[in-house]
Chain A
Amino acid sequence: MHRAIEFLQERFPEDVQEVVEFRGDTTIVVNPKAIRAILTALRDAPEMGYKYLSMIAAVDYHPAEPRFGVVYNLYSHRYRDRLTLKCLLPGAAPVIDSVVSVFSTADFHEREAYDLMGIVFKGHPNLKRILLPEDFVGFPLRKEFPQRGQ
């Protein structure tokens, strides 16, 4: 069992929703409202030491509801292991707290997730499109967005 599961269940008993183990990867589904607090705790607790945010990925699970997943991949240099956190967001208004204040690297990752998937990161200092032009319409990584242009 991953060492972070017990830690999170103890510190955030209300917010741990599900634990998925697959091919040696541990994914903990947590309450999106608590993501900033959880990441801060994982970063600052010496027995966790997740000081490095590897990436943030946005996933569209259409037609499932809640439709969007925001995935945080953490690495601990001290314990040399990984942890994946996932937050599920509703399709109608995918909004989640920005974690730029916890990890500076989240800046670009969140902008990318906003740009391509339309996830809104509340509290991001500069939430603008990053790869696509500013006047681009739509979010191309969403499943309803066509592969080819008209």
Chain B
Amino acid sequence: MTPVLPERQYDTMLLNVGPSHPSTHGVLRVLVELDGEVIVRAMPDLGYLHRGIEKLCENRTYHQCIPLMNRLDYLAGEVNNFGFCLAVEKLLGIEVPKRAQYIRVIIAELTRIASHIFWLGTHAHDLGAMTPLFYGFREREKIMDLCEMVSGGRMFPAYFRIGGVAADLPEGFVPEALAFVKDFPTKWKDYDTLLTENPIWKKRTVGVGVMTREECLDYGWSGPMARGSGVDWDLRRDNPYSSYEDFDFNIPLGTREGDVYSRYLVRMQEMLESAKIVRQALEKLPKGDIKVDDPRISLPPKEKVYTDIAALINHFKLIQEGVTPPKGEVYQAIEAPKGEMGFYIVSDGSGRPWRVKIRRPSFVVLNATDKLARGRLLADLIALIGTMDIVLADVDC
């Protein structure tokens, strides 16, 4: 874990940034070799938050993995479950009912807005702008409240289930969510006014952390990180899942060279696009079931468990043994707020996954730290960590 100290050729200095530093967004340590104020080398040191989620999954039923997945990228808790549930459903060869698909999209896109707001607030805060954080958290709080309405949880809703969602949307959710997304563009203007034309903000971000399109692909960048450099790719549009093809939305692309400012613009636009998707989903929300009608996958309704012996047995078996997908291996990726989030699941035909490999976008992006930071000033490193939008729980898994 600890990087080996480089041989000192001339007067360079080693500086520890982190593991406990406000700008590292969690417990990330970057060992920086400095020549004066210029970075000669930056070596990220991870693992402080490693909980072994991939290993923990191997001893749990598929449903028991769901709360663990919340804790990957905890700023977008439910999106992780989106990917995991879709992967298990792919293993099982099922498709969830349309209503559940729409509900999932609504929650996922609201979460994307919340995640981007958090990124914006902390990123701006790191670079000296305090206000966006407070404005942003005003809206993020509303999204948290909406999550709480559907699931009782704010950060970790654990609301999605294999085969659907845990419960239908509560009464009053649709009008409140609609009011939020209708109002959001007005609120969004506050952030935009504070930063987009702000000369200090531009001084800190324009031309910093430039990645070309080819470099992005080489480093495995995805999501807004790649789109900031003009990679026209979004899994929601290009490999649609969960009815994303029903919605009309744009994929914002970086208009400039792929620098920190360009990625800022992309994420800002994405928030508006997400609000657009949520609005469409709420307005077109179909009626019907919220989970698949298959006793081997979905739990029976509670009143049946209390009155019907077959339903009770079914409930017991599903809790004890869990869903049992056939033997096989699948990979399912989704467009998480931070990029491509993928789940590679190996099933041996039992009720527990043989192997779960999680492709975490934050982990992949961090690989390019040295490339981005080399030759830049130390102060730019703070902007670079901010633009990467990493969550250390996602990096370390």
Chain A residues engaging chain B, CB cutoff 8 angstroms: 20, 22-25, 27, 51-55, 57-60, 71, 73, 77, 80, 82, 84, 103-105, 107-109, 112, 116, 128-134, 140-141, 145, 147
A73-B340 Cα distance, complex, nearest whole Å:
12
A145-B328 Cα distance, complex, nearest whole Å:
23
- Cross-chain contact A108 with B52 (CB below 8 angstroms): no
Residues of A within 8 A of B54 (CB): 116, 141
- Cross-chain contact B2 with A134 (CB below 8 angstroms): yes
- Cross-chain contact A130 with B331 (CB below 8 angstroms): no
A125 to chain B, nearest CB (A): 11
Check: B249 CB closer than 8 A to any chain A CB.
no
A140-B214 Cα distance, complex, nearest whole Å:
35
B235 to chain A, nearest CB (A): 9
B332 to chain A, nearest CB (A): 9
| Interface residues of B, count at CB 8 A | 47
A41-B41 Cα distance, complex, nearest whole Å:
32
Q: 5 closest Cβ contacts across the A-B interface?
A: A105-B220, A57-B357, A131-B47, A55-B359, A108-B367
Nearest to B396 among chain A residues (CB) is A131
- Cross-chain contact A108 with B340 (CB below 8 angstroms): no
A141-B58 Cα distance, complex, nearest whole Å:
9
A112-B218 Cα distance, complex, nearest whole Å:
18
- Cross-chain contact A141 with B328 (CB below 8 angstroms): no
A48-B195 Cα distance, complex, nearest whole Å:
42
Check: B330 CB closer than 8 A to any chain A CB.
yes
Most buried by A among B220, B238, B239, B364: B220
Which residues of chain B (196-220) have a CB below 8 Å from chain A?
A: 214, 217-220
- Cross-chain contact B231 with A77 (CB below 8 angstroms): yes
A138-B314 Cα distance, complex, nearest whole Å:
40
- Cross-chain contact B344 with A140 (CB below 8 angstroms): no
- Cross-chain contact B90 with A23 (CB below 8 angstroms): yes
- Cross-chain contact B330 with A25 (CB below 8 angstroms): yes
A133-B47 Cα distance, complex, nearest whole Å:
8
Residues of A within 8 A of B91 (CB): 23
Chain B residues engaging chain A, CB cutoff 8 angstroms: 1-4, 46-47, 50, 52, 54-56, 58-59, 90-91, 93, 214, 217-220, 222, 231, 233, 238-239, 328-331, 333, 340, 342, 344, 346, 354-355, 357, 359, 363-364, 366-368, 371, 396-397
A35 to chain B, nearest CB (A): 17
Residues of B within 8 A of A105 (CB): 218-220, 364, 367
A34-B357 Cα distance, complex, nearest whole Å:
24
Nearest to B218 among chain A residues (CB) is A104
A55-B220 Cα distance, complex, nearest whole Å:
8
Known contacts A108-B364, A131-B46, A131-B50; decide if A22 and B328 are in contact (CB<8 Å): yes
- Cross-chain contact B220 with A52 (CB below 8 angstroms): yes
A10 to chain B, nearest CB (A): 25
State which of B50, B330, B340, B354 has its C-beta within 8 Å of the C-beta of A22: B330
Nearest to B91 among chain A residues (CB) is A23
Residues of B within 8 A of A129 (CB): 1, 47
List 17 contacting pairs A-B, 8 Å CB cutoff, sorted by A.
A20-B329, A23-B91, A23-B330, A55-B359, A55-B364, A73-B342, A77-B217, A82-B333, A84-B331, A103-B220, A104-B219, A104-B220, A105-B219, A112-B363, A130-B47, A131-B46, A133-B1
A82-B1 Cα distance, complex, nearest whole Å:
32
- Cross-chain contact B355 with A60 (CB below 8 angstroms): yes
Nearest to B4 among chain A residues (CB) is A128
B1 to chain A, nearest CB (A): 5
Most buried by B among A52, A53, A128: A52
A52-B342 Cα distance, complex, nearest whole Å:
14
State which of B58, B214, B220 has its C-beta within 8 Å of the C-beta of A53: B220
Nearest to A148 among chain B residues (CB) is B59
- Cross-chain contact B1 with A134 (CB below 8 angstroms): yes
A72-B355 Cα distance, complex, nearest whole Å:
15
Residues of B within 8 A of A25 (CB): 329-331
